[in-house]
Structures are given as C-alpha cells and as structure tokens.
Amino acid sequence: MSTVAFIARNPSGTNQHGTSAEGSPSVISTTGAKDISLNLDPTDVESYARRGNDLHITLSDGTIVELDGFYNTAATGPKNLFLSDEGDFIEVVLEDKADGMLFASYEPLDLSGKWSAYDDMVFLDVDRIEPVVAPLAAPLLGGLGGLGAAAAGAAVIAGAGGGGDGDGGGGGGDDGTGAIIPTVNDADGTYDVPEGDPDGVTISGTGETGSDVEVTIGDVVVTTTVNDDGTWSVNVPTDDLPDDGVYETVVDVVAPDGTTYDDLDGPTIDIDSEPPTVVITEGTQSVGDVVDGDEQASGTVITGTGEAGATVSLEIAGATQTTTVAEDGTWTVTFTPGEIATGEYETGITIVTTDPHGNSTTSSDVLEVDTETSVTIDTGLSGGDDIITAAEAAAGVAITGTAEAGASVEVTVEGVTRTTTANGDGTWSVTYEAGSLPDGEYDADISVTSTDAVGNTATATSTIEVDTDAGFVQLDEAPIEGDDIINHDERADGVTITGTATAGETVTVTLGTASGTTVADVNGNWSYDFAASDIPEGTGNLDVTASISDELGNTESDSDTVALDTEVVNYGSETLQTADDVVNTDELAAGFTLAGTVEEGSTVTVEIDGTDYPASVDDDGNWSLTLDGDDLGTASRDVTATITATDPAGNDEVITQDFSIDTDVDTPDFDGVTIRSGEISDIYLNPTDDDLSLFSLDGSGNATEAGFTEINSAVEVQLDLDQPLADGTNLVIQGTDDAGNRSSVLVIDQQSVSSDLLNSVGEHNIDTLDLVFEDNGNGANVTLTEEMINNMSSNSDTLVVRGDDNVGPGEGGTSHTVTLTGGVAAGTETVDGETFDVYTIGDGDTRLLVEDDVNVVI
C-alpha cells in the first residue's frame, strides 16, 4: 500500500480525516494531534522506530509511514496511537525510548458499550478507505440501541438500499413516514486543498430523487439535483473555491414536495494555496556566518524560521538533514563533522520546505566553510643571529612572523604577552620594550597564537637566546683616598682606583677624562694608578667608572664620583681694620681685627712673631682674629702676619698681611704763656709736627675746647687764642700724631688741684703734668694715687711731672709738691737727655717720673 487512511483528533476534540502523503516515507503530520487512528491491522505492521520527534512505522510491504511530530508534545501532551480495521480498535503501547527501534504491545479496546470517546475514530470498511459517517436522525440513533457511532454509520450504509457507490452513497433513510432524509457524506471529515491542486473538492450525499441541493462553501454556492439512484454530488474546482482559510460546508436540500432540510453539516474545507516560506537566521553565508573549525568539529548547525508544522530539508554536498518547524516557527538542523568537510571553501545549500497541506518551496543558500588558519615565527631575529644582547634589549626587541591577513596574533615570551594584528600581506610584528624581558643568559620560549576572523586558531613555538650579561665588575666600596676627596697633596702623588671583576676580564677604568685598562687577577681583584698629570686641578667632581665588555658587545659597568679639591677657594684677607694699616696706641689697647673669607668648613691660623693664633671661622666662611697689646706687646714695629687656611679636603694655602704698630707718643712741650691785662692771650710750645688741640678746665675738670691760630717757627709754636683765657686757668694741650696717637700735657696754674679734676682728664691721655702755679714762692700742690695715674692716659701707666724750672727748692724759688702716698723711690731715669727721679706705686707697673725741682712726698 502506498497511502494509509487516518483520523487525527486534536486536544479540543476536532477530528481530521485524511490519507498519508504518497512516497516513502509516507508522511502524516501529527504535531497538533492528541489521538491518531490508522486504518491498519497489527499484522500490517513490521516495526516501529523513533527518529527525533518523528515516529516511523514500517509496514509489511516495505512502506514507511512517518508520523511527523508525534513526539512533539509541548501543546498536546503525550499522544495516543490506535490501529483500526473492520471495526476493531486497538491501542498501540510503545516503549519509552529516546531514539531507535521501539518495542510495541497491543491492547484492543471494547467499544461495544452505549458510547465511547473513540467511536468516531473507528474504521468499519474492509477496503481501507476513510470511514463514511452520515448524520443520523434521532429516531434512528435511538432505534440502534447500544451500537456506537461508527457501528451506526455502518448500519446506515447497510440499510440504505441500492444505489450506494464507493463513497458510501445510497438513498437517504426515511423517517418512518416514507420521507427520505437527505444526508451529507463524510460530514465530519476535513478536506485539504493544497496549492497546485486543480481538482478542488467534491461534496456528495443522498436524498430523495429530484430534490434540489445547494452546497455553500464560504461565499461560493453550488447547486445540483439528487440523481435517480438517490445520490448527489458537486465538484468545486480549486479556482472556484474562496480564499485560503478553513470553511464549514453547509448543505440545504428542498425535496420535491417542498420539504426543506436546512443547514446540513458537510465536511470541513481547509484551503491553503500559499507555499510555505523558510528563512535562514544562522549558519549560512546569507546571514554573514562562516563555519569555523570548532563549529565544524562539533557539528554544523543551521537554524531558521518557517511555517509551524512544515518540514524543512537541507541538502549540502550530498548530505541531507530534515526537521519539522516547531510551533514557535523555529527549526534547527545539524550536519555531522563527516558530512561537512574541513578546509576553506563555499558550497551550495538546497532548502526544501513542505507544509502539512503538501505545499512546497525550494530555495538555496551558500555554506561558507573556513576551518583553517596558520601562523609562523621568523628566524634570524634580533639582529639576525637570534641572540638578544643588552643593547638590543635596551632598544626593544622585535618578534616577527606571518599569519593570515587580519588575524589577531598573541605573542608570549617568558610569560610576557604582546598582541597585534597581521598586516594585509600576512606579516606581523610585536616589540618587547626595554625592561620587559629579564636580563641574564638563557633561552627564552616564544609562543604565538593567531586567531582569524572566524575564530580559527593556530599556534607556533620557538626559542631565542638571551645574553645580556657581560660579566661582573665593581668599584671598591672603600672611599677613594680615604674620604672620596682628592686634595692637592693626594693629586700630586697620584690616585689609585681599585675594584673587583670577573677573573681575567679586561677592565677599562676612567677618572674624569683620563682612562686606562687593567686585567682582573685570578681572584677578581684589579687596580689602576692615575698619575698627577691625569688629574686636573681645581674644585669639582670627577666621574669614576669601571667597565667590561664581551664579544657580543654586552657591557657591564659600575660608576661613582669622587670630589676634586686641590685648592682653598674663596680665600683672602680684608684690609686691616684700622684706617691706615697702622695700629696706634688706642687701637692696640682696644684690640684690632684681622679678617677675611675662606672656604666653608676651613680652619685659619695666624702666625705673628713666631706665635700662632687660631682664627674664628663662621658657617658662611668668614674668618676673623682680634688681637691687642696683651697679645702683641706695645713696641712700635712693622709686623707681617702669616695666615694659613686648611680646607676640609686638607689643602693648605698661605697668605700674608703686613701692618705697623705705632705706639710712640710725642707729648706737647709747654714753654709758657703771654698774659695781658690778667688774661692769657698766647701759649707757647716747643716745636712739634702733631696736630694740636687746646682745652680749658674748670675746677671739676670739665673741658672746654678753645680756638686758636697756630703760628709755627723754627724755635717755637705759638697758639694765638681766639678768645683770651683768664690767668690761672688750668689747660690741656693735646697733640695727635700721624698714627692717631694722642698725648697731652696738663698745665696746672692753681695752687691746689681737686681730685675730681685729676680723675676726669683721662680721655685726653695725660702723659705730662706741668706745674706752673706760683704765688710768692708757693707752687702747686698735687696729690696722686695709683688709680689716678693709670686712668690719666691709655698710652702707658707712666706720668711725667715737670715744675717751674727757674729756681729749685731751697734756693728761694717756687716750691711745687707732689704727694704720692705709698710711693716708692726707684732711682732715676734719663729721658731725652734729662734726668728724672723715678717713683713706683702699687705692683710696680705704675710709675711717676719727676723733675728734680719738684718735691715728692711718699
């Protein structure tokens, strides 16, 4: 048999009658069915097999009936399969198995009761045709008692009398009054009208001869008349049928006597003249997909959309995969790795989709396959010798090769990864910048993976030698010349640089701009001597390096700096801190300062007359030394100060400074006065070159400077007073020499002088006391003390006392007296040809020199 009649009922109870499509397999769509009844006997069946969601039934004659979508239970739940023939109704119970041959058992169902849910799924005929079930009038149904619907249909057919044909025709039954009731054959059936079927549909039935029959399908109305044999039939060609859709056939019959039978049910007409469509959504060239190596190896998947329930068959290079469109309109097929060859190529796809009505559409697409890619690593890297030296590593190392144009390339060297994209010519390059690869001597593994545009990968490996190590060299940590400073003396006797290196290596040593080579001994020690001529003079820093190199050009070095300091910088002295580089008595007494500048951190020593005096040096390099008469004595003389500076580096530098000490004083020598009208108008002195000043004193010693005009002659100096002074005024005549030394004579023209006066004149440096008072032979009386003498002059602690030298004591002349309590006579002393009596007081350093015409009381 080439086709099999079937009845399929959906979950809502609607039956569809039909026959399987011709061919092998002979296909019945069961996606939406809940129950399926086949017009077969168990003996007609050879085997059952599950193929995906389809059930294949092999019949005894070799025909394969495919129940398409039998295992698609999403909308229906598990399906029930029945075999029915000559009124028997048998349930087929199949083994629960995912795929392959299935074991089946049969369970006959007893439908002899009053009613069964499967009555309308029973096949009664013996010719394996679709059952004919005519509408039954109520009296007839009641009269048949316990017969089921399918049995009742058989009874009708059997009782119809003559005129029946292969469609179950025959005269209509009467209603017990003799009237013949019209019927419509296969009223519960469904007739599919696919695209390209020109025959359309035939609706038939029975009735009283001569009755008018009107058949309505949608908006199409066809009429006919019941034949003499009590049957009627109309054919509606496909072109005359209404638009696509599902229509219920309605039959109206008017008997010859005018009796009408309206709205008799007829078969359901399912018109589908549109061929199914199919759309590829994934896996082919039309949607931009390429099958890569992974996809080919795991099975090439193509997906798309189509009409629910339609079959989709794809043929590629002789291999075919078929599936059914799911209820959501999607479908998927998978071609095994054996069906899709590897390589890089394109091949055609033929796509056939067939809907349940038999409409079919054929389309095509292209399968683009690319399962191959490649990658290589170039040789002769890093300067052509596949060896990375230190210089090459510092400049950046390029790793190059070839790959498929546009492929991404991932390069890993010693765990460090770089990525790039192959150029249009298939070349690629990555750079490992300085510091990205470890230094040393080793073989570095290179691993390269390329991934092409569709995801295929290829891997290549290689190695490259790394040799960035020239060996070992180091400068000694000990400071050069003990303190990392080369001073003048150290430069003069040469400088030695020492260190360690790989034994036998030639070491290049540089100091500043000078360099030389030496060889490390078996213990790795080396040294090099730089002569004084190799080393510059001055102040600064010199770079010190020690380096070695190997045959690849790798170098290793160690560096340091050493200070060069062969001079005392910023060294000098200032002009002596006196006005004229002459130290006078006042300056010597007060102290004077030698000063200058020197390099910070230096020491300065001043040597004068064989004695060293340390100077002070502040943080800014200013040095100074203050000296006075206690240090140098009071003798007048020319002095050379030898000043030696020693800087922090140990350099010495000597400078000298010359100056004079002038402590000689020339006290003005009072010679007399001119008195006019009881006033002093002129004062006379022995000749002198000193600058002169004149002061008058009151009784307390307060001094008032007096103006005068100086008149010099070869024998005297005359002071012509601007304003006369009263006779008896005590005078201070002060002389100042070129060195600034000041010395004065105190002229006493009073008989008694107060101690206040004598204690207040020290600022004038009184070195001579001249007693000139005279009144009837009475002279001046002066009382002196040690303190008084010392305070009168800073020039010395010696006071000269002169008196009126016209007549001495005891000769009727003027009598002057000096009282020096505690004084001690110390003999005589001749000064400038004149003999003086010498008296001392106190510790003996304070002296009084008295002319012999002055009385001294001790």
What is the CATH number assigned to the segment(s) 473-565? 2.60.40.10
What's the pLDDT at 163? 29
Return residue ranges of the chain for CATH 2.60.40.10: 138-272, 278-370, 375-467, 473-565, 572-661
* Cα distance between residue 199 and residue 593, in whole Å: 144
- For residue 800, how far is the Cα from the chain centroid? 96
Instruction: Say if residues 659 and 677 touch (Cβ distance below 8 Å).
Output: no
* Cα distance between residue 405 and residue 452, in whole Å: 8
Instruction: Say if residues 344 and 361 touch (Cβ distance below 8 Å).
Output: no
What is the CATH number assigned to the segment(s) 375-467? 2.60.40.10
What's the pLDDT at 813? 58
Q: Which CATH architecture has domain 138-272?
A: Sandwich (2.60)
What's the pLDDT at 196? 66
What's the pLDDT at 155? 25
Across the beta sheet with 703-705, the strand order is 703-705, 691-697, 730-736, 742-748, 766-771, 798-803, 846-850, 834-841, 824-831
What's the pLDDT at 129? 36
What's the pLDDT at 153? 29
What's the pLDDT at 420? 98
pTM, to two decimals: 0.45
Peptide bond connecting 25 to the previous residue in cis, omega within 30 degrees of 0: yes
* Cα distance between residue 285 and residue 283, in whole Å: 7
Pick the CATH number of 278-370 from 1.10.8.60, 1.10.10.10, 1.10.3720.10, 2.60.40.10: 2.60.40.10
What's the pLDDT at 125? 55
Q: Specify burial of residue 822 (Cβ count, 10 A radius: 0-12, 13-18, 19+).
A: exposed
Pick the CATH number of 572-661 from 1.20.1050.10, 3.40.190.10, 2.60.40.10, 3.40.50.2000: 2.60.40.10
Tens-place pLDDT, residues 25-79: 889 999 889 999 999 999 999 999 999 999 999 998 889 999 999 999 888 889 9
What's the pLDDT at 62? 86
Series of mean pLDDT values for 10-residue runs along the chain (858 residues): 86 86 83 93 93 92 91 90 94 91 90 71 61 31 28 27 33 56 90 77 94 95 95 92 91 94 92 89 96 95 96 96 96 96 96 89 95 96 92 95 97 97 97 95 97 95 94 95 94 97 96 97 98 95 96 93 93 78 90 94 96 97 95 93 94 94 93 94 96 94 96 96 95 94 95 92 94 88 95 92 64 79 95 94 94 92
Q: Which residues pair with 154 in a beta bridge?
A: none
What's the pLDDT at 760? 92
* Cα distance between residue 808 and residue 190, in whole Å: 187
